[in-house]
A and B are shown apart, each in its own frame.
Chain A
Amino acid sequence: MAIIEVKDLHFSYEENIEALKGVSFSIEKGSYTTILGHNGSGKSTIAKLIAGLLEAKSGEIYIDGQKLSIDTIADIRKKLGIVFQNPDNQFIASSVREDIAFGLENYCVDPLKMDDIIDKYAGLVGMKENLDKEPSNLSGGQKQRVAIAGILAMHPSIIIFDEATSMLDPTGKEEIKKIIYDLHGDDKRTILSITHDIEEALKSDYIIVMNEGKVYKCGKPHEIFSDTKGLRDIGLDIPFTYKVKEALEKEGIKIPYTDTIEELAEVLWSNLKA
């Protein structure tokens, strides 16, 4: 069942320049979907439209069967969390504790219950020891973890990550990626991750490739990445294992598609043995 359905979305920031030129796709409930695309291809615009932060010029968005409109937006926002790119610009309050409480306050949660909720979700992202820290004393990765905790506290069934790891150092990136995988794996949440990380895309269930405000292609990872030429033409990178397969094919050696280096090594080894 599709939990997010987008039909023929058009959007412009400035008159006569369309940032989205008719975008349609649907996302399955419980899936891990990645959106790839060069800078300026319209990925963040899509995320903001889905989260109801921008209003489409035309087209429709359905979340969990509900059509997104002024009347349903409050309802839909409860089902959907979004983590943005810049860790600093989504840390609203002056301490970890207060920041997680921010969303709870907006949804009128009983203040007496807040401490337990805060403890629980800070614990889930490994921030329980830092509840009273100020944002200026936290690393980028820690701030992103707080953002995730704040969102989890609202029990959304969909979480959108808009390049949430791109401003982090390698350790921070790994921490956040692990949390995202756990959210998908353990909790069966629908994840929509906008990313430049092809390894992440390769592991996802479904990929949407954006190019210049349009969907270039949607599909399972091997369907997307086997089109190496097309992806290069729109300025996207190819996963390492696909590059190796492509290079071997040029030499006349055929191997099946592989997703990880381990799989690739195994395939090559068995080819060598044969």
Chain B
Amino acid sequence: MAELSAQSDEELLDRFQRAAFGYFLEQYNPENGLVADRSRAGAPASIAVVGFALSCYPVGVERGWMTRADAAARTLVTLRFFCNSLQSEQPDATGYKGFYYHFLDMKAGKRVWQSELSLIDTTLLLAGVLTAGVYFDEDTTTESEIRERADAIYRRVNWQWARGGGTTVRQGWKPECGFLHYGWDGYDEAIILYVLGLASPTHPLPERSYIEWTATYQWENIYEYEFLYAGPLFIHHFSQAWIDFAGIRDHFMREKKSDYFENSRRATYVQREYARRNPFGFEGYGKDCWGITANDGPGFQKLKIDGRERRFLGYAARGVPYGPDDGTIDPCAVLASLPFAPELSLSALRHFCARYPQMIRDSRLPSGFNPTLPRDGPSGWVSEAYFGLDQGIVVLMIENYRSGLIWKLMRQCPYIGSGLRRAGFTDGWLS
């Protein structure tokens, strides 16, 4: 990786972005457009990863990594599948009420793992569907069909049903037991869910659902940064991948004289500060080694390392500063912070290249590595599989930093504008 240090920021980012983009070409089923959740043999498709894939294709076209025709063809196969696949209460359907099951069989496209009908994952899929609907704006049969199908998929979603009689939406539903009761509390990645739900021309969420959802927000002063707290870093990225929040504010952010873009910046600084303080003495943590989020981990195990008891987790939502934290870093989350705090992300990226070159294979970043858990080399444990969510957020956030492409596209999507307005957002590009 020595040669990376000589590259300019732009060259470096191009290289990592393209490597991440490659995931969607490798893990794609041309029959139905589904994309695997992770790069492990036999992995099912994740609908959220498909949403990222649909958003990445326009990036590929604009960067010259694929032709527009190829991108449109892949997109159309995907949208046809989601339009035509079985929507029913049957336990092996693809979806129900316009939503989709979290995990689908890569070939048959049916529900697997008894997974839940997932509201947030359907939202991320829809974000991709709508991105495609805006990007493919030419007057060809393929692109016209993309637009029609994108609109049809979005309109079919029954957001009102998803409230399950309450004000805010439920997290999921299963044919075996109905709505799931996980209980959402605090700020999370769901702003885009409410924006899309509020904008629905067919089954919209009521405005009060957003107010109710934001009622559990916590504005905290931690390490002298004041911000809307959420522990895992990805929460500060996912809605922001599609929506440009710079300068637009809802009631809460007006009250705090901030916005969600600025908030993600501060959250990044809090992450770095936590890593510098490194209260649990994890190996590697420091100014350029942070990125604590929901990601793959070494698997549950309790070990004594250097006289200290360490408990490691598998795939888990790690968070800062309250934990859980087992010393696992997600370098993809660091790149996802690029638009908000480029000075921090670029410096960390260069540090990863110089200090942990073994964890970077073919310029692709793993979902996690843990220098505290010894393996060969300073990276320690390294996640073996690549995860679609990680690769997707890397492609989109590098692009937003480089050109703002996804943000510009989504500004043109009428549903985003109207959803934001119904949620009470004003100012900035909404004026």
Is B a genuine binding partner of A?
A: no
